[in-house]
Amino acid sequence: MRAITNISIHCSATPTGSALSYDKYHRLHNHWSEIGYHFVIGNGITADGYIKSLDGQIEVGRSLHKDPAAVRGHNSGMIAICLTGSQFDEFTDKQFSSLRTLLADLSDKYGISEEAIVGHRDFEGVHKNCPCFSVKDFLENRIKE
């Protein structure tokens, strides 16, 4: 198993989707061998013809044995989690609840501190709004489900 040191939170930049649809997109458009994220948390809306991801459902993507394709130059030792949605108001209470549970489980299992859990936009050199909310505020319970 690789050493896991941090977690990055992402959004899909789409209002709908699932791990299966992101996997297909990453293979087709990015020419990757598989989905870039380790986990996807669905919002219950799927309009792309794939199996519907339930609201708050945690779907497994890339194996945790592999680095993600999530933040260029920063993927080593990272776990990448993606919430389906492209705007803050598109994320559901169930997604935030599932995110809290998943983060607690992963933090406990891999000894990851709260400081090592950040949004995609928080990495040096990244000029994106992803995940469309402050992960620090979320972790400090200023964003609640």
Q: Give per-residue pLDDT as tens, 47-91.
A: 655 567 789 999 999 999 999 999 999 999 999 999 999 888 789
Does residue 68 contact residue 2 with C-beta atoms inside 8 Å?
no
Q: Tens digit of pLDDT for each residue in 7-58?
A: 999 999 888 889 998 999 999 999 999 999 999 999 988 765 556 778 999 9
Question: Higher confidence at residue 145 or residue 2?
Answer: 2
Q: Is the pLDDT of residue 136 over 90?
A: yes
CATH code at position 124:
3.40.80.10
Rounded CA gap, 83 and 64, in Å?
A: 17
Q: Is the pLDDT of residue 94 over 70?
A: yes
E-assigned strands of the chain?
A: 6-11, 39-43, 55-60, 78-83, 117-119
Buried b (16+ CB within 10 A) or exposed e, 24-35: ebbeeeeeeeeb
pTM above 0.95, yes or no: no
Nearest 5 degrees, angle CA 104-CA 57-CA 31? 95
Query: What pLDDT shows up at residue 86?
Result: 84
Quick check: is 144 in a domain?
A: no
Cβ of 60: how many Cβ atoms within 10 Å? 12
* Dihedral angle over CA of 119, 71, 100, 59, nearest 10: 140
Query: What pLDDT shows up at residue 88?
Result: 80
Q: Is the pLDDT of residue 145 over 90?
A: no
Quick check: is 145 in a domain?
A: no
Quick check: is 1 in a domain?
A: no
Q: How many domains does the chain have?
A: 1
Query: What pLDDT shows up at residue 144?
Result: 62
User: Domain range spanning residue 17?
Assistant: 6-139
Quick check: is 77 in a domain?
A: yes
Quick check: is 123 in a domain?
A: yes
Quick check: is 80 in a domain?
A: yes
Query: What pLDDT shows up at residue 130?
Result: 93
